[in-house]
Amino acid sequence: MSNRPPILQARGLHKSYASGARRLQVLRGVELTVLSGESVSIRGESGSGKSTLLNLLSGLDAPDAGELQWEGEATLSAARRGRLIGLVFQSFYLVPELDALDNVLLAARLQGPIGAAERARACDLLGRVGLADRTGHIPGKLSGGERQRVAIARALMNKPPLILADEPTGNLDEGSGEAVIDLLLALCAESGCALVLVTHNAAHANRCARRLFLREGGFHPV
């Protein structure tokens, strides 16, 4: 029995969407506990509800039924989400007009004024992801793999205890995808933050400490 506290708890999550005249039930009573520092992968077929679930876990959407707790609290304001959760998406979501450094600093700007300490941390993170010489480049001047590295640095900027990654290699070639997964797992382990990785890639999923498969609205043995 682990003595690590839960960073995230989901109980009986249900979610459905309107589909014409009927409702499509996507999640049916999902249960999940993620412990501090734990890595968990979630696989599933296309349309199984992986991204829907991650939207609930991040507080970006609300379940139809069930409850969520983040560090034991059931409320998640935007400011608290910014401190608690780092998000990595398949499509990067970098601001095209901002250079790599300012894209990383966006996470900190949502928490308060930017000073020398924040700039130093952003520069350090970009160095850690191998982009020390690319801090002044806008996303259009970066490769897909480099853009995802910027997104990972941004997710870690506020030292969140939880990273949620939704198909972070989905838009990358195989080599870039492997490098991004190596980096994501290594940085999360080093910082001690928990990782929930949604992926269709079995090899990537198997690198997490715990592996789940989402099917027919709930988790099944891998």
CATH code of 39's domain: 3.40.50.300
3-state DSSP of 69-110: EECCECCCCHHHHHHHEEEECCCCCCCCCCCHHHHHHHHHHC
User: Would you call 159 exposed, middle or buried from its count of C-beta atoms within 10 A (0-12, 13-18, 19+)?
Assistant: exposed
The pLDDT value recorded for residue 89 is 92
Residue 94 lies in a domain: yes
As for how many domains the chain has, the answer is 1
Q: In which domain, by residue range, is 78 found?
A: 6-220
Residue 155 lies in a domain: yes
CA-based nearest residue to 209, from 40, 3, 4: 40
Residue 1 lies in a domain: no
The pLDDT value recorded for residue 2 is 61
pLDDT of the chain, 222 residues: tens digit per residue: 468 899 999 999 999 998 888 888 999 999 999 999 999 999 998 889 999 999 999 999 999 999 999 999 999 999 999 999 999 998 999 999 999 999 999 999 988 899 999 999 999 999 999 999 999 999 999 999 999 999 999 999 999 999 999 999 989 999 999 999 999 999 999 999 999 999 999 999 999 999 999 999 999 877
